[in-house]
Amino acid sequence: DIQMTQSPASLSASLGETVTIECRASEDIYNGLAWYQQKPGKSPQLLIYNANSLHTGVPSRFSGSGSGTQYSLKINSLQSEDVASYFCQQYYNYPDTFGAGTKLELK
């Protein structure tokens, strides 16, 4: 199985700040990567797919980048509604696997 290593595990940032979350795959996943946001008590919601494509309705302050084994999610101008946990997922190879998650809090 492809292992997804996500960092940091937790992150504290101020409103308006830019934050970056990283995800490293144990082998090349050829941009088969998605990012999900999970707000407290809610189900995950798709943010980014194919490493850098924004899902319908997702604010443009979210962006994804990367290639090969290294990927990142960037949130520009952090808003209070962005407080959530974020997960990466590879879907290049079966079985789909997730990163352990990053919990984002306001400073």
Partner 1 sequence: EVQLVESGGGLVQPGSSLKLSCVASGFTFSNYGMNWIRQAPKKGLEWIALIYYDSSNKYYADSVKGRFTISRDNSKNTLYLEMNSLRSEDTAMYYCAKRAGSGLFDYWGQGVMVTVSS
Closer by beta carbon to partner 1, 45 or else 77: 45
CB of 11 to partner 1, least distance (A): 16
CB of 57 to partner 1, least distance (A): 11
Q: Is 97 in the site for partner 1 (CB under 8 A)?
A: yes
Candidates 14-22, 37-45, 59-67, 72-80; binding stretch for partner 1 (CB under 8 A): 37-45
The rounded distance, in Å, linking the Cα atoms of 67 and 70 is: 6
Between strands 33-38 and 70-75, the pairing is: unpaired
The rounded distance, in Å, linking the Cα atoms of 1 and 25 is: 10
Candidate residues 14, 16, 42, 81; the one interacting with partner 1 per rule CB under 8 A: 42
Give the number of other CB atoms < 10 A from CB of residue 81.
9
**CA distances in angstroms from 18 to 8, 30, 51, 79, 105, listed in the order given:** 15, 26, 19, 10, 13
CB of 45 to partner 1, least distance (A): 7
Give the binding site for partner 1 (CB under 8 A).
32, 34, 36, 42-46, 49-50, 55, 87, 89, 91-92, 94-101
